[in-house]
Amino acid sequence: MSDQSTDDSEPRASGHRPKGSLAILVLGCIGVVYGDIGTSPLYAMRESLRTAGENGLMRHEVLGIVSLLLWTLILIVTVKYVILVMRADNHGEGGTLSLVALIQQSLSTRPKWLIGIGMVGISLFFGDAMITPAMSVLSAVEGMVLVAPNFEPFVVPVTLTIILVLFFVQRFGTAVVSVLFGPIMLVWFFTIGILGLRHIGDDWTIFSAVNPWHGVLFLIENGHASLIVMGSVFLAVTGGEALYADMGHFGRRPIRIAWSVLVFPSLMLSYLGQGAMVLGHPETAANPFFLMAPAWALLPLVLLATCATVIASQAVISGAFSMVKQAVRMGLLPRLEILHTSESQVGQIYLPNVNTILAAGVVFLVLQFQSSSNLASAYGIAVTGDMVITSILAAVLFRRVWGWSPLLTNLVIGPLLAIEVMFLIANATKIVDGGYVPILIATFLCLMMWTWMRGSAHVLSQARRDAVSIDTLMMTIQKSKRIKEVAGTAVFLTADPEVAPAALLHNLKHNQVVHAQNLIVGVNMANTPYVEDEDRVVITPINDRFTRINLIFGYMEETNVPKALAQARRMGVKYDIMATSFFLNRRSFKSGRKQGLPLWQERVFLALTRSAADATSFYRLPANRVIELGQQMVI
């Protein structure tokens, strides 16, 4: 079992190991990885008590809810992610797409079912990235009502202001302020732990909630009605997927240490303290988190909570940027403009289009739901679905890649998957009240990815139908007396290096020239996040004037073509970059009506192509050395 997974000591692709001492990495992951799950005590206990106490709360019901909260953290986060799933890393990287890539490496084809599961996982994560900022910031700002009751009309405007500022500053990067994330969240976890510890003495019997029987008894006694409560209980683990998704940034060991030493104990103390306070003072059930604070500390706690929720929102936004970037690299979405906001931190990226969509979605959610209690109905279903997908992919990985027996796979994953399916069913009861929002978001994004993949495949087949093979073109050039040779090197980027690039054919047709040296360059994505330098370039000489070069990039890497070609030069391909021109084929599409795609999907695909980023910047080509040749294609 252990020999099938990687250990922290195993080498990764050169230059991509998380940098810094163990203490620095632990502090960093406290600020980034645990922001979302760390702010869940703001609303998880409150919403669980609210849904369970419509007809009044009994003592054993409070104990049952606290027990469910604690054991959800233990089973879903500790057992599933910290102990089990984090063993499945793709050269140190985690997340849904890494699982997909790991499974794909063991298969000879790229099955549609695997890509479909990956697309659903990405889509659900994106829906969660919209709901998390709205939910968490609203919850924190609502605490001001306890400080100043007249503040209630300003909750939504203040929340919108914070959110708009948060999305506005994304373009400038967060490298400068991100150094504060760890220390602020460190203070946050100590604060919620101390507040919880302060109130445990309100009713010492709260410790009996550690016995899972109280949670089981709650579910048995309430029957189908307990599903609604379970949907609220699940709010305690929203953000749990970040432990696995952010593994590449910090490493497995720092994430495990932070969880075991600080995060889990603080969350446990917070929920135990809230439960004990409600048992001793039932009137505090309306907002148990903020009411744990003494009157003098309430305002500082609200301000600290607001900072913590902004940090949690920033982590989710950055995660969405990273996830979309991976989807683009893997061909699930069109080229999008990806800007780097830090010269020292490769992971600091900004996607303008994605940022705009996220900001619009978050603002809409705040205006639509107005309060965190209302928004709680929409929160959870996306995360639950994402977790179920992770469990299914993990089961396939354990069975197909690691070689586990069906019995062992079912014994390990079966109970966890059953619990998550129960949570998914519980969250499904909230669809009418707001759960439809993440479903609509995920459906829309899945439709976009499916359309892009289908349209791209159709365009490629159309291009190949009219393509000229490299061998045929070589013979034509050798026989033609009209084609003149010019000095310098021409680089032709192509999606299919086995056939003559369209830009090369157009250059020959219109300019009647061929360069002294011609490089036909194909850019390919590997199933690994990073590719070793010695595996990046594959050179295949065609003749004395033409060379085929395949460049291979990991799905977490930048597609920097000039840098990769510099490596090809060190491998023997001689050319002068100052005498080199990059030829690109810019396609424009014309509707073919009944050819290929349905009309609606064709229109969506054409809209996606128009939103694609410029190839020059995407491939990091020198703009003053790029020549674009147009081509109209009927699809």
Confidence band for 580, pLDDT divided at 50, 70 and 90: confident
User: pLDDT at residue 210 above 90?
Assistant: yes
User: pLDDT at residue 438 above 70?
Assistant: yes
Residues 552 and 601 placed together within one structural domain of the fold:
yes
The predicted-structure confidence for 119-135, as pLDDT tens digits, reads as follows 888 888 888 888 888 88
Residues 507 and 393 placed together within one structural domain of the fold:
no
SS3 493: strand
Alpha carbons 114 and 111: distance in angstroms, whole number = 6
CB neighbours of residue 22 within 10 Å = 12
Confidence band for 13, pLDDT divided at 50, 70 and 90: very low
User: pLDDT at residue 459 above 90?
Assistant: no
Would 538 be classed as within a structural domain?
yes
Residues 140 and 261 placed together within one structural domain of the fold:
yes
Confidence band for 211, pLDDT divided at 50, 70 and 90: very high
Confidence band for 1, pLDDT divided at 50, 70 and 90: very low
Give the pLDDT mean for 185-200: 95
Instruction: Tell me what pLDDT residue 86 has.
Output: 86
Would 459 be classed as within a structural domain?
no
The predicted-structure confidence for 378-414, as pLDDT tens digits, reads as follows 787 888 888 899 899 889 888 888 888 989 989 989 9
Confidence band for 244, pLDDT divided at 50, 70 and 90: confident
Instruction: Tell me what pLDDT residue 178 has.
Output: 67
| Strand pairing report for 580-590 and 626-634 | parallel
Residues 362 and 213 placed together within one structural domain of the fold:
yes
Would 179 be classed as within a structural domain?
yes
Write down which residue in 454, 489, 511 finishes a domain: 454
User: pLDDT at residue 314 above 80?
Assistant: yes
The predicted-structure confidence for 60-113, as pLDDT tens digits, reads as follows 889 999 999 999 999 999 999 999 888 887 777 777 878 888 888 777 677 788
- DSSP code for 494: E
User: pLDDT at residue 341 above 70?
Assistant: no
Give the pLDDT mean for 482-487: 84
- Percentage of the chain modeled with pLDDT above 90: 21
Tokens 């491998």: give the residue.
571
Alpha carbons 584 and 529: distance in angstroms, whole number = 26
Mean pLDDT of the chain: 84
Residues 204 and 63 placed together within one structural domain of the fold:
yes
Instruction: Tell me what pLDDT residue 348 has.
Output: 67
Residues 515 and 372 placed together within one structural domain of the fold:
no
Instruction: Tell me what pLDDT residue 378 has.
Output: 78
Give the pLDDT mean for 324-335: 84
Q: How many helices (H) and strands (E) does the chain have?
A: 28, 8
Alpha carbons 399 and 107: distance in angstroms, whole number = 13
Residues 450 and 566 placed together within one structural domain of the fold:
no
Would 625 be classed as within a structural domain?
yes
Tokens 């203490």: give the residue.
23
- Across the beta sheet with 546-553, the strand order is 537-541, 546-553, 513-525, 484-494, 580-590, 626-634
Alpha carbons 350 and 359: distance in angstroms, whole number = 13
Write down which residue in 419, 454, 489 finishes a domain: 454
- DSSP code for 613: P
Would 501 be classed as within a structural domain?
yes
Residues 216 and 348 placed together within one structural domain of the fold:
yes
Domain that holds residue 136: 22-454
Alpha carbons 305 and 39: distance in angstroms, whole number = 8
Q: Which of 73, 68, 83, 8 lies closest to 37 in space, CA to CA? A: 73
Residues 442 and 475 placed together within one structural domain of the fold:
no
Task: Enter the tokens of residue 394.
Answer: 């993990």
Residue 551's φ and ψ, nearest 5 degrees, are: -105, 130
Give the pLDDT mean for 19-40: 83
Instruction: Tell me what pLDDT residue 248 has.
Output: 74
- Percentage of the chain modeled with pLDDT above 70: 92
Would 237 be classed as within a structural domain?
yes
Instruction: Tell me what pLDDT residue 156 has.
Output: 92
Enumerate long-range contacts of 283-289, CB under 8 Å, 24 or more apart.
Answer: 285/46, 285/49, 285/50, 285/53, 285/57, 286/46, 286/50, 287/46, 287/143, 287/146, 288/45, 288/46, 288/49, 289/41, 289/42, 289/43, 289/45, 289/46, 289/192
Residues 198 and 296 placed together within one structural domain of the fold:
yes
User: pLDDT at residue 224 above 60?
Assistant: yes
Would 99 be classed as within a structural domain?
yes
Task: Enter the tokens of residue 483.
Answer: 């084609």
Instruction: Tell me what pLDDT residue 3 has.
Output: 41
Residue partners of 578: CB distance under 8 A and separation at least 6: none
User: pLDDT at residue 420 above 70?
Assistant: yes
Give the pLDDT mean for 508-528: 84
Residues 139 and 281 placed together within one structural domain of the fold:
yes
Give the pLDDT mean for 528-540: 85
Instruction: Tell me what pLDDT residue 8 has.
Output: 43
Give the pLDDT mean for 519-546: 85
DSSP characters over 507-538: HHHHH-EEEEEEEEEEEEE-SSS---HHHHEE
Residue 78: CATH number of its domain: 1.20.1740.10
Q: Which of 41-45, 100-104, 471-475, 630-634 has the lowest mean pLDDT?
A: 630-634
- DSSP code for 495: S
Tokens 């709901």: give the residue.
131
The helix or strand, by DSSP H or E, that contains position 488, with its residue range, turns out to be strand 484-494
Write down which residue in 422, 454, 486 finishes a domain: 454
Evaluate whether 290 touches 147 at the Cβ level (below 8 Å). Answer: no
Would 329 be classed as within a structural domain?
yes
Evaluate whether 531 touches 557 at the Cβ level (below 8 Å). Answer: yes
Residues 434 and 568 placed together within one structural domain of the fold:
no
DSSP characters over 316-385: HHHHHHHHHHHHHHTTSS-----EE--SS-TT-EE-HHHHHHHHHHHHHHHHHH-SHHHHTTTSSHHHHH
Provide the domain count of the chain.
2
Alpha carbons 140 and 159: distance in angstroms, whole number = 9
Residue 516's φ and ψ, nearest 5 degrees, are: -60, -35
